[in-house]
Structure 1
C-alpha cells in the first residue's frame, strides 16, 4: 500500500508522492507540527467521517501563494514559461487526440478544437473555477459532466492519459512547476500552499521533521539518555554503603557526561553537512594530512567514516580540547565557572579507575554520598546549559530567498 504526501494549493491537490517526500519549493523553516481532528483532513484527498473526533499529530510544510510564486519565478517558472509550455503542450495534445481518434475509432474532434485555438487566459479562468468549486478529475470515479466545455475537458480526461501530462487535470503543461505557477496565479495571494507529510513521517518514510520534533522538546534525545543514566546512579546511591560502590558511582557520573558529549557531537556532525564541514576544517589531524587532487573522490566517500573514527578516539574528559571542539563545530560555550570542579572530579575518577582508588601519593581516596550528589548537581547543571545551546542550534537556516 505505502504512505503518501499530498501537495495542495488553496486546499486543491496538485501533486502527491508515495513513500518519498519531495519538498518541491518548500524550505525547512516552512515546517509545522500541530494537532487536528481526523475529521478536519482534506476531503478531496481522504474519505472521512465528519464525526471522527480522534486527534492526530500533523507534519506539514506551509507557505502562502505569494511566497510560492516568488520561489517559482526565481527558479525560472514565471507566466511566460507557463505560456510557452501551454502552447507547446497544446500542439502535442492535439497530435495525440488525432492519433487515438484513428487508432480507437473514437471522436475527439471537440477536444481537438478546444486546444486548437486555446488561449491561456481562458484556461486560467476555468482553472480558477475548478479550484474554487473543488471540481476533481478522478479516473477511478464516474465522470461528472460540466456545461463549460473547457472545464469538462480539464476535469474529465479522455480514455487515455496524455503521455507527457504531469498532473491529474488536463491542463497543457510539461512540468509540475508550470502547473503550480498556473494554480498560484488564480488563487488569492494569501491562499495556503502546503505539503501534508503526516503519513510519511508516521510510516517512517522520512526524517525531515526529526530536528523540529527534537527542537520542540524540552531537551535533545541524547539528553534523555544522560538523564536516565544520572537517575540510575541516584537510585544506586541511596543504598551505597561501601567505598567501592561510592567510587564507582562517582566515576560513572563523569562517564555519563563523556557519553553525552561524545554522542551529541557525533550525531550532529554526521547528520548535518554544514557541521561535518566545520569539523573537517577545524580538526588539526585532518589539516596536517597531505592529499592529492586525484584522491579527492575517495576522501569524500570515506570522510564520514574518518570523522566518526576521530570522534570515537577523542578523550572527552580532556576539557580544554572538548570545549574548543564544541565551540568551533557547534558554536556552544561551556559554563566556565564549573570547569575547575569538574576537572578535579576527572582527576579523582582517574585515581579510581587507574590506581584502584588511591591518589598519586598512595593515599586512599575517600568518596562520600554527598560527594557523588554534589558532582551530579554540577554535571547536570553544565549539561543542561550545553544541551539548551545544542537544541537551539538544531534548526539550520535555509538559504536566503
Structure 2
C-alpha cells in the first residue's frame, strides 16, 4: 500500500509525495497535532468510512500549518527559480515568487506550447499503450489554442472554480473531451486544469499535480492558489499517513511530549 504526504491550500490538494516528503517552505515550528472524528476527514484526500457508525470515532492528524498570508510572505523571500530546474536560479539577485514571476512563467509556458506544433502529451498509461498516446496527442492543438486565446486571469478564474467545487484528478478523475476553440470559457479551462495528461517536455512538465494549469513549479502554482483562497486560509503539509504507518518520525518528539502531558493537542 502507498502512503502519501499532501500539500493542501484551504483544504484543496495540489501536490503529493509518496513514502517520504520534503518540508518545502514549511518549518518544524509549523508542526501541529490535531484531533478530529472520522466523519470530519478531508474527503478530497481521504474517503469517509462506509459504515456511518464509525464517523464519530476519533482520529489524529499530523500537519505543518501556516496561513495563506504567511506562505505568501515566505514565497516572497525565496530566490526566483528557473522553471526548467528548481535547483538553479534565474537571477540570484532577484527574490520573490509573486504574481510577476507567475505571469512570466505563464508567458514562457504559452510561448513553448504555441511554438511546438506537436508536443507529445500522454496519459498515465500511454507509456505502455501506444493507442492512448496517439489519442492524447490529438488534443494538443486545442491545448495550444486555449493558451493562445486566454490570459492568466482567465486561468485563475478557472482555478478558483476547480477549488470551490472540490473537483480533483486524484480521486479517479477522467479527462473530459477537450473543449473546442475559440470558446474557451471558465468551465473549459477548468476541465483542462484537471486533465490526466501532461507534457513530456521536461521544461514544461509540472512539479505539482494540477497537470493542466500552465506552470511547472509548485512555487508558481502556490502563487496562483493564493490568489483564489482567503488570506486567512490554512496552507497545510499533511503527513498523517506517513506518521501513522511509521514511514517518517518527524513528529516523534511532539508525540512523546503529548504522552508526557507537556503539550496540548488542538
Q: TM-score, normalised by structure 2?
A: 0.73
Give the structure 1 partner of residue 100 of structure 2: 80
Task: Report the CA distance between 1:216 and its aligned residue.
Answer: 2.8
The 2-side partners of 1:217 and 1:140 are apart by: 39
Q: In the aligned structure 1, how far is the partner of 2:46 from the partner of 2:176?
A: 19
2:162 to 118, 130, 147: 130
Contact 1:60/1:194 (<8 A) preserved: yes
**Is residue 2:113 matched to residue 1:93?**
yes
Counterpart among 152, 170, 184 of residue 226 in structure 2: 184
> How much has 1:139 moved relative to structure 2?
8.6
Looking at secondary structure, tell me which structure has more strand per residue: 2
> What whole-Å deviation, never above 9, does each CA across 1:20-63 have from its counterpart, x for those lacking one?
12111112221111222222221111222262332222211111
3-state secondary structure, aligned to 2:60 = strand
The 5 Å alignment of 1:103-118 reads 104=134, 106-118=138-150
Q: How far, CA to CA, are the matches of 1:135 and 1:94 in structure 2?
A: 28
User: For residues 28 and 172 of structure 1, do their structure 2 counterparts lie closer, same or farther at Cα, with a shift above 3 Å needed?
Assistant: same
**CA–CA separation in structure 2 for the residues paired with 1:202 and 1:195:** 15
* Equivalent pairs, count: 219
Superposed CA RMSD in Å reads: 2.6
Conserved? CA contact 1:96–1:162, under 8 Å: no
Q: Say whether the 8 Å CA contact 2:114–2:148 is kept in structure 1.
A: yes
The change in CA–CA distance for 1:2 and 1:37 in structure 2 (over 3 A counts) is same
Aligned-partner Cα distance in 2 for 1:92–1:139: 30
Corresponding residue number in structure 1 for 2:217:
175
- Secondary structure at 1:99's aligned position in 2? coil
Match of 1:22 in 2: 22
**Is the contact made by 1:201 and 1:207 (CA closer than 8 Å) also made in structure 2?**
yes
On the 8 A contact 1:31/1:60 being kept in 2, the answer is yes
- 1:142 — aligned with what? 174
Aligned to 2:244: 202
Cα distance in 1 for residues equivalent to 2:16 and 2:236: 11
2:196 equivalent to 1:154: no
SS at match of 2:174: coil
Q: Residue by residue, what CA displacement relative to the aligned partner does 1:191-212 show, whole Å, maximum 9, x if unpaired?
A: 1111111111122222211222
Which residues of 2 match residues 301-380 of structure 1 at below 5 A?
A: none
C-alpha separation in 1, matches of 2:99 and 2:161: 19
Greater C-alpha radius of gyration: 1
Cα drift, residue 166 of structure 1: 1.8
In 2 relative to 1, CA 178–168 (structure 1 residues): closer, same or farther, beyond 3 Å? Answer: same
**What is aligned with 2:83?**
none
User: Whose relative contact order is higher, 1 or 2, with alpha carbons under 8 Å and at least 6 apart?
Assistant: 2
Conserved? CA contact 2:5–2:16, under 8 Å = yes
Higher share of residues assigned helix: 1
Over 3 Å counting, the alpha-carbon distance change for 1:204 and 1:100 in structure 2 is closer
Is 2:6 the partner of 1:6?
yes
Match of 1:278 in 2: none
Residue from 109, 121, 125 that aligns with 2:153: 121
Deviation at 1:94, TM superposition (A): 3.6
State the distance in 2 between where 1:9 and 1:66 align: 12
TM-score normalised over the length of structure 1: 0.50
Contact kept? 1:62, 1:193, Cα under 8 Å: yes
